[in-house]
């Protein structure tokens, strides 16, 4: 292949950095959908179903299978009922015309109607894409609102990322052909047209994109199946050409199967970017991922003139990933992998278990870890110094804490390591112990760990965010941390595992109420959810209805009224119920009102950097 001109390589890398049916015996032709191809040995999952019915059915029950779909009454989750969704001066009105799903848009002063052609997502939220043509090519572009499944409401797309409120609905535009196609489909071929044409830089990209299958299907994990299907028709049972089985691979190749998508990466060498955007990624299951890509790390340089901190901000200060789609980086940095034989299927089952998480059903709770750490499993309490049946004895809570942001929620880290209060505090990373003990400080955690496990656990000399060391770690992260730290703390306070002393019961609610006025809508959303959870789980103060009425997308003035009203209600309810007096470090006065001067002083420490998620 002719080498790309330097300017083209730079353009392609910049673009990449920003986004960082037949049966055995049947006719192996692509279905009628014009997006589908049958090149490079791909045959589609229908070719697998005739012989592997159970595996096909278990895959079809997963969210992998519905990651990308065409719109229909069966697949569209959003309510296209004609209700208007507004932000600033912009608006979107989703509606139906028979079996067509459309959005009437008023964005940036331009009115138009867009038709939904593709759906991405089916579990936490669903995004909608329209098709636009340009000469002999076409691209799919994300529409500006999405459907949040849990909330059962429309949200502006930019409100679910780690950024401040937008003035309208034009933010976080995404082109499916350069971004979503690569991981949310099987056998992607972006089909970039006219890569060498100077007009492309002015007109925009033109694509003739195809995929072997919409969504993440059999051949994403087992490799192209053409030879397997062909030989299965002509040879005795058990003698067909083998497909790749991840469980039969060595650990490096096994984790690569998932890492091709669950590990944000760049083409390696860089000139391979042209190939990615024409015929698609070159990795195939069974190969080494690092022979094809360079996984993004905290120190990966940003090429093409982008924000030089864009990649670094996707990790905590110690290099631990803090965004989803970096699970591969977490796994390969874990001693369970580097010194053991950990692979993704050590814990996950692709054809079994609950589709939410796809954890192995044969290994419940700590058994996921004690399958290898047998000695610890014999006496868990001796290892944890916590009750064996409590959250403090959960291997995952301590060694894979929830410190990762993605799809408008917080998830477990896939870097398996030990809690370390000094490391975590100095790197700005939320600490596992204080994600449960939400009223405790990092020095408190260090003292406890030294008593139980030795002198190597010291208190941090100072916090990464500059907040006082004696402040509860959760409160410090919630008010002084950057957006990712605030989101993690907001979720931790509402978790069923969160524990706090009676003298913090009012404070925890007040902290969350203050955070419902945060400048980042995704943080406000999580704080609201947690306050409602605390009201349900811990003796209610009777402010649940008031919190429920606060809309995290309301304008600044309305939000201010709602939040101050909620804080007044919390203080009044605490006085009426003679709640325990707040602790001196709880950021509350004796009248249960928030010490706003101290809170504002903490918020002045917040990191202002935008964390570019790359979706």
Question: What pLDDT score does 303 carry?
Answer: 85
Indicate whether this model's pTM tops 0.85: yes
Pairing of strands 85-87, 90-97: antiparallel
Distance, CA of 105 to CA of 96 (rounded, Å): 14
Asked whether the predicted pLDDT for residue 25 surpasses 90, the reply is: no
Distance, CA of 311 to CA of 295 (rounded, Å): 11
Is there a contact between 193 and 204 (Cβ–Cβ < 8 Å)?
A: no
Handedness of CA 483, 64, 149, 75 (dihedral sign): positive
Reading the block at residue 408, the tokens are: 């408008």
Annotate 57-91 with b (16+ C-beta within 10 A) or e (fewer).
ebbeebebbbbbbebeeeebbbebeeeebebeebb
- Could you read off the pLDDT of 354-387 as tens digits, one per residue? 999 999 999 999 999 999 999 999 999 999 999 9
- Could you read off the pLDDT of 89-109 as tens digits, one per residue? 999 999 999 999 999 999 999
> What are the phi and psi torsion angles at 130 (to 5°)?
-105, 160
- Could you read off the pLDDT of 551-610 as tens digits, one per residue? 999 999 999 999 999 999 999 999 998 888 888 889 999 899 999 999 999 999 997 777
Question: What pLDDT score does 29 carry?
Answer: 44
Question: What pLDDT score does 238 carry?
Answer: 64
Distance, CA of 236 to CA of 257 (rounded, Å): 29
Of 247-256, 291-300, 305-314, which range is least confident? Answer: 305-314
Question: What pLDDT score does 173 carry?
Answer: 85
Quick one: pLDDT band at residue 18, thresholds 50, 70, 90? very low
Task: Using alpha carbons, select from 78, 84, 151 the residue that is nearest to residue 111.
Answer: 84
Asked whether the predicted pLDDT for residue 69 surpasses 60, the reply is: yes
Residue predicted with more confidence, 28 or 592: 592
What interhelical angle do 505-515 and 556-576 show, nearest 10? 170
Reading the block at residue 299, the tokens are: 């120190």
Between the alpha carbon of residue 434 and those of residues 52, 442, 606, the distances in Å are: 47, 7, 19
Task: Using alpha carbons, select from 474, 444, 476, 448 the residue that is nearest to residue 460.
Answer: 444
Question: What percentage of residues in the chain have a pLDDT greater than 70?
Answer: 93
| DSSP code for 521 | H
> What are the phi and psi torsion angles at 309 (to 5°)?
-100, 5
Diameter over CA atoms, the chain? 82
Quick one: pLDDT band at residue 26, thresholds 50, 70, 90? very low
3-state secondary structure 347-365: CECCCCCCCCCCECCCCCC
Cis amide prior to 331 (ω within 30 degrees): no
Residue predicted with more confidence, 613 or 415: 415
Reading the block at residue 75, the tokens are: 């697949």
Distance, CA of 576 to CA of 556 (rounded, Å): 30
Of 6-20, 369-383, 502-516, which range is least confident? Answer: 6-20
Indicate the length of the chain as a whole number: 615
Distance, CA of 228 to CA of 243 (rounded, Å): 6
Reading the block at residue 459, the tokens are: 């208190």
Distance, CA of 256 to CA of 331 (rounded, Å): 11
**Non-local CB neighbours of 142 within 8 Å, separated by 6+ positions:** 127, 128, 129, 157, 172, 173, 174, 175, 176
Handedness of CA 544, 550, 553, 556 (dihedral sign): negative
Asked whether the predicted pLDDT for residue 533 surpasses 70, the reply is: yes
Quick one: pLDDT band at residue 236, thresholds 50, 70, 90? low
Quick one: pLDDT band at residue 1, thresholds 50, 70, 90? very low
Full DSSP string of 564-577: HHHHHHHHHHHHHT
Please report where in the chains the tokens 């009750």 appear, as a residue.
387
Asked whether the predicted pLDDT for residue 21 surpasses 80, the reply is: no
Quick one: pLDDT band at residue 233, thresholds 50, 70, 90? confident
Distance, CA of 329 to CA of 299 (rounded, Å): 13
Task: Using alpha carbons, select from 155, 257, 268 the residue that is nearest to residue 552.
Answer: 155
Angle at the Cα of 472 from the Cα atoms of 466 and 476, rounded to 5 degrees: 35
- Could you read off the pLDDT of 129-172 as tens digits, one per residue? 999 998 889 999 999 999 999 999 999 999 999 999 999 998 88
N-term to C-term CA, the chain = 30
Averaged over 65-74, what is the pLDDT?
97
- Average pLDDT over the chain, rounded to whole? 91
């Amino acid at each position: 292949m002719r080498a790309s001109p330097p300017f083209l390589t730079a353009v392609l890398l910049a673009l990449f950095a920003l986004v960082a049916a037949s049966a055995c015996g049947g006719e192996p032709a692509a279905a009628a959908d014009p997006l589908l191809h049958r090149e490079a040995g791909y045959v589609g999952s229908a070719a697998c179903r005739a012989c592997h019915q159970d595996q096909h059915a278990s895959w079809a029950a997963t969210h992998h299978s519905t990651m990308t779909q065409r719109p229909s009454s069966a697949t569209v989750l959003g309510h296209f009922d004609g209700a208007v969704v507004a932000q600033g001066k912009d608006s979107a009105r989703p509606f139906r015309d028979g079996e067509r799903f459309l959005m009437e848009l008023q964005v940036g002063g331009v009115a138009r109607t867009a038709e939904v052609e593709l759906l991405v997502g089916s579990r936490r939220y669903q995004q909608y894409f329209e098709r636009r043509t340009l000469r002999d090519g076409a691209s799919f572009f994300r529409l500006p609102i999405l459907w949040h499944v849990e909330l059962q409401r429309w949200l502006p797309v930019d409100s679910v990322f780690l950024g401040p409120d937008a003035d309208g609905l034009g933010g976080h535009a995404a082109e499916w052909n350069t971004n979503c196609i690569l991981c949310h489909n099987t056998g992607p071929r972006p089909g970039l047209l006219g890569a060498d044409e100077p007009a492309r830089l002015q007109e925009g990209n033109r694509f003739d994109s195809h995929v072997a299958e919409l969504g993440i299907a059999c051949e994403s994990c087992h490799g192209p199946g053409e030879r397997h299907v062909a030989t299965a028709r002509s040879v005795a049972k058990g003698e067909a050409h083998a497909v790749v089985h991840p469980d039969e691979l060595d650990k490096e190749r096994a984790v690569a199967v998932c890492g091709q998508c669950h590990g944000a990466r760049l083409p390696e060498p860089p000139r391979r970017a042209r190939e990615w955007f024409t015929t698609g990624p070159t990795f195939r299951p069974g190969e080494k991922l690092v022979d094809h890509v360079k996984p993004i790390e905290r120190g990966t340089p940003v090429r093409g003139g982008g924000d030089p901190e864009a990649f670094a901000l996707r990790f905590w200060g110690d290099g631990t990933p803090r965004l989803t789609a970096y699970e591969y980086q977490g796994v390969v940095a874990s001693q369970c992998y580097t010194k053991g034989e950990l692979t993704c299927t050590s814990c996950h089952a692709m054809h079994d278990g609950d589709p939410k998480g796809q954890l192995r059903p044969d290994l419940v709770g700590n058994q996921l870890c004690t399958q290898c750490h047998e000695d610890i499993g014999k006496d868990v309490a001796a290892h944890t110094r916590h009750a064996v049946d409590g959250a403090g004895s959960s291997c995952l809570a301590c060694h894979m804490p929830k410190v990762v942001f993605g799809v408008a929620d917080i998830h477990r880290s896939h870097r398996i390591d030990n809690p370390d209060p000094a490391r975590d505090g100095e790197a700005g990373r939320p600490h596992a112990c204080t994600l449960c003990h939400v009223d405790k400080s990092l020095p408190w955690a260090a003292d406890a760990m030294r008593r139980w496990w030795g002198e190597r656990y010291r208190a941090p000399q100072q916090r990464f965010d500059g907040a006082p060391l004696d402040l509860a770690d959760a409160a410090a992260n919630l008010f002084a941390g950057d957006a990712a730290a605030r989101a993690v703390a907001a979720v931790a306070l509402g978790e069923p595992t969160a524990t706090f002393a009676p003298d913090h019961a009012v404070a925890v609610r007040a902290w969350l109420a203050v955070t419902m006025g945060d400048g980042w809508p995704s943080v406000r959303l999580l704080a609201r959810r947690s306050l409602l959870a605390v009201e349900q789980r811990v003796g209610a103060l009777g402010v649940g209805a008031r919190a429920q009425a606060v809309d995290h997308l309301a304008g600044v003035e309305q939000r201010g009224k709602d939040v101050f009203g909620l804080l007044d209600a919390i203080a009044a309810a605490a006085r009426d119920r003679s709640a325990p007096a707040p602790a001196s470090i709880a950021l509350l006065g004796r009248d249960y009102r928030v010490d706003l001067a101290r809170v504002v002083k903490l918020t002045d420490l917040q990191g202002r950097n935008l964390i570019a998620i790359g979706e």
